[in-house]
Amino acid sequence: MLLTINVAVLLAVIIVLRLGRRTQARSRSDEKLTVVIVLVFGVLVAPTAFGHGVLDLVGQLAEGVSQSGSP
């Protein structure tokens, strides 16, 4: 039996667990590690179909916000 783990899914689980903790209990180095983990997750997800969908969605939201603010 071969068990494979998708690294992006593993990082997503780690992110959810780390962000679920209380903010007051985090040190500065702990926050930096969380930022690094999130950046690595973003790099892993970006070239996938899910990453392209998120990029399109954020682009549409940004375009809608910029159009609603113009007279």
Residue type at position 1: M
Confidence category of residue 3, pLDDT binned at 50, 70, 90: low
Q: State pLDDT tens for residues 48-63.
A: 888 888 888 888 888 8
Say if residue 26 is exposed, middle or buried (CB neighbours under 10 Å; 0-12, 13-18, 19+): middle
Query: Among residues of the chain, what percentage have pLDDT more than 90?
Result: 0
Give the alpha-carbon dihedral of 32, 34, 35, 37, to 10 degrees: 120
- Model confidence at 7, pLDDT cuts 50, 70, 90, reads confident
